[in-house]
Amino acid sequence: MSEDAIKIEGKKKKSLFIDKVREILPDGGNLNMCITCGACASGCPATGLENMDPRKFLRMAALGLDEEITSTPWVWMCTGCQRCIYVCPMKINIPELVYYARQSWPREERPKGILGSCDMALRNDSCSAMGASPDDFQFVVEDVLEEYREAQPEFKDMEAPIDKAGAEFFLNQNSREPVTEPDEMVPLWKILHTVGVDWTYGSKGWGGENYCMFLADDEAWEHVTRTALNKADELGCKIFLNTE
């Protein structure tokens, strides 16, 4: 052997993500049979961003390139739409891997927009990413409802109840609308009124968006979700209608 030859010593670097890949393979799935067909990348809205796509991300995970896949900002561009799962012959849950990669980031280094919206949702019982309180929400709903009842007599009996006990449907609401575009709430009210749906908002957990899920913060994600579900249970609603 030449004296100039490089000798590689030490243990093989342990990969965390290859274990995750194996854990989420469905019964009969075999990652070694992946032919990198690219079906996952073909329909992905994030393909090409940051020079990454689902196929490349999965192969990097399988090859143990943990440092690369836990540092690429591409993981924050994945929408979690799951198209890649449906077209994958092996049905590999790539969005779940993306979620694990997000969790590897220190919380304070995660995207400020998502982080700020999650933290805002934790500030009061509305779980609104806009920070609107239960009292703020009730004021806006009642004000807009009164305006449309007066302006459109055909909807003079329309309701937009909050905390109506025994309602069949419990609805949430994108919290941007009551804060910045309150008129955008009305079309849904009209539909529900026209078909005679028995529904209600909850004063707690009415914020429909859950940025804590996108932040990959399990504890905060659960808090936001349970706040709404607990209120729906308290009111005795049979069906949770997630408008988001």
Contact 41, 53 (CB under 8 A): yes
Question: For the chain, what percent of residues have pLDDT higher than 90?
Answer: 73
Same domain, 83 and 131: no
How much is the pTM? 0.83
Q: What are phi and psi for residue 66, nearest 5 degrees?
A: -60, -45
Q: Do 117 and 214 fall within a single domain?
A: yes
Does the pLDDT value for residue 162 go beyond 80? yes
Sheet containing 169-171, strands listed edge to edge, beginning at the edge strand earlier in sequence: 199-201, 169-171, 239-241
Rg over alpha carbons for the chain, rounded to the nearest Å, is 24
In a domain, 6, yes or no: no
Tell me which residue of 131, 154, 155, 134 sits closest to 144, measured CA to CA.
155
Please indicate, yes or no, whether residues 216 and 145 belong to a single structural domain of this protein. Answer: yes
The mean pLDDT of 129-151, rounded to a whole number, is: 96
| CATH number of the domain to which 35 belongs | 1.10.1060.10
Same domain for 28 and 140? Answer: no
- 130 and 209 together in one domain: yes
Indicate whether 101 and 137 sit together in one domain.
Answer: no
What is the predicted pLDDT for the residue at 90?
80
Q: What is the predicted pLDDT for the residue at 101?
A: 92
Q: Is residue 167 part of a domain?
A: yes
Query: Do 76 and 116 lie in a common domain?
Result: no
Is there a single domain that holds both residue 66 and residue 33? yes
- Mean pLDDT to the nearest integer, 32-44: 83
With respect to residue 60, please indicate whether it lies within any of the assigned structural domains: yes
Q: Give dist(CA 158, CA 148) in Å, integer.
A: 9
Choose one of 105, 139, 174: the last residue of a domain: 105
Q: Are residues 207 and 225 in the same domain?
A: yes
Tell me the C-alpha distance between 185 and 144, whole Å: 9
pLDDT surpassing 70 at residue 49:
yes
Rounded mean pLDDT, 83-109: 89
Least confident of 93-97, 98-102, 119-123: 93-97
168 and 69 in a common domain: no
Looking at residue 30, what is its pLDDT?
61
Last residue of a domain, one of 105, 131, 161: 105
Is the confidence at residue 28, as pLDDT, over 90? no
Torsion, Cα 11 13 15 18, to 10 degrees, reads: -70
Instruction: Provide the pLDDT confidence category of residue 213 given band limits of 50, 70 and 90.
Output: very high
226's CB contacts (< 8 A; 6+ apart) are none
> In terms of pLDDT, which residue wins out, 111 or 28?
111
Strands 199-201 and 169-171: parallel
Tell me the CA distances in angstroms from 217 to 89, 101, 104, 115, 127, one per residue in order: 30, 12, 11, 9, 15
Average pLDDT, the chain: 89
How confident is the model over 53-79, as a mean pLDDT? Answer: 90
Same domain, 46 and 159: no
pLDDT band at 31 (very low <50, low <70, confident <90, very high): low
In a domain, 67, yes or no: yes
The answer to whether residue 147 scores a pLDDT higher than 90 is yes
Give the residue numbers spanning the domain of 190. Answer: 112-241
Domain assignment present for 7: no
Last-in-domain residue among 65, 82, 105: 105
pLDDT value at residue 178: 95
Number of domains in the chain: 2
**Residue 33 gets which letter from DSSP?**
G
Shared domain check, 133 and 54: no
Residue 202 placed within a domain: yes
pLDDT at 32: 62
pLDDT band (50, 70, 90) for residue 137: very high
